[in-house]
Amino acid sequence: MLNITNLLSSFKIDKKIPIIVAVSGGIDSMVLLNILITEKYKPIVVHFNHNTRKTNERDQDLIINFSKNNNLIYHIFSININEGNFQSEARDLRYEKLRMIAKKYKTSYIATAHHLDDLAETILIKMTRGSNLYGYSGIQPLYVKDEITYIRPLLNIDKKTIIDYALLHKIPYFTDESNYSDNYLRNRYRHTVIPILKQENQQFLKKVYNFHTQLKDAASYIKNQALKELHNNSINIENFKKLDVVIQKEMIAILFEQDNLETTFETIDKIRCMLLNDSPNQEYTLENKYTFIKAYNEAFIKKNQTKNVFDITLNDSLNILPNMEKITFFNNPSNIDNETVKICYNKLSLPLRARTRKPGDTLSFKYGRKKLKDYLIDLKLPKYERDKLWLITDSNDIILWVSNIYINETLGSEKQLQFLWEKGKNEQRYWRNISKWETNCWSV
């Protein structure tokens, strides 16, 4: 098992630092646990009882007894999932608990028992479903995400070698009967596809590992180059157009990865074409209520938000709008500061109203009138930002003000209103020099 110790050594883990180990009670995780003990690491055992079969308690008892006999800290979690995608939800829950235990013991290392056969299965599944270059390379021996380092010390060892090791060292384990069921995609590859490939070439798994290594190295280089071109999780489209197509596609794939979204070659290709065309504002709908947005010279992924449509009457003091923004009107203009902007008027039809945009909205300027839609295009305001806008009108629907981008300056100069706009929790405050309904207008 020299390959295992070599791979472990390459991780350069201080043996005084705990390693959180996911242990199912099957042969793979029990062999991994035994090797970590033998090599004088400090494993902490985490077992998940999925409550899916009668033998779950047997596996749990094995791990408890093994941990006690070897003076290991252990944690047992019971998982109950009744609906949905069991494998996906159970995996997400397991990793959540593993991260929680890692935090408890102030370590960043989590070890799983993925091996060479698992790597071959994963690569074939990725090829069937589609992925990016890094995805096609399969499981990684070391992977860092959210300050957690995931390690797979058995990744270069095939299943047969693991079985031989367990028999030689008399390591206790149990077999999960579900591993023999072809109800699961991975098992179908394991039982039908891979045996045929092994018949074609007895060195098939070795070839898989070589393929994985070469692809991983190439993918890592490309990914590093792509990361240099991304800023604040967004793409600068002008710079994007100058890059090689491989870097372009990887930049898109990284954005998907950062939001844990599945992608395919076709999806990446469609988005790339969208970014290269001349249309300034475009959107591509993704899974899980996300959208890939192209907004003039910027592109990024954004979680969808329900458009908040409203039309309400404003009172002459504090108003909390349906979008949770606040607007407060004042009598006393003494709070004027350098940021003050005023709207003067001769006559308004009261009461005032606050509402979201609607088709046909028109703004008044000293030089004439302009549709709000055209005004927003002139400002190059992205579509997703336009959907957040709201405006203040009088009761005759004359637009007085639009969310920090427009003030009507055509209404006269005898009187004025003053209000404070507070935008959500960030309290972005904008003083609008518009005092209560009937005060006299003053100059700034």
Q: Specify binding-site residues for ATP.
A: 24-29
Annotated binding site: 24-29
Structure tokens at 158: 């095939």
User: Measuring CA to CA, which residue among 384, 387, 398 is closest to residue 353?
Assistant: 398
Alpha-carbon distance of 324 to 387, in angstroms, equals 15
Q: What angle do CA 237, 296, 284 make, to 5 degrees?
A: 85
- The CA–CA distances, whole Å, from 371 to 363, 382, 409 equal 6, 17, 16
Q: Which residue do the tokens 């077999």 mark?
A: 175
Peptide bond into 280 cis (omega under 30): no
Q: What's the length of the chain?
A: 444
Task: Report whether 95 contacts 87 (CB < 8 A).
Answer: no
SS3 276: helix
Alpha-carbon distance of 204 to 186, in angstroms, equals 18
Task: Report whether 356 contacts 310 (CB < 8 A).
Answer: yes
Alpha-carbon distance of 91 to 432, in angstroms, equals 52
User: Which uninterrupted H or E stretch holds 166?
Assistant: helix 159-168
Counting Cα atoms < 13 Å in the Cβ hemisphere of 399 gives 24
SS3 66: helix
Q: Are strands 362-365 and 428-433 parallel, antiparallel or unpaired?
A: unpaired
SS3 305: coil
User: Measuring CA to CA, which residue among 397, 442, 444 is closest to residue 416?
Assistant: 442
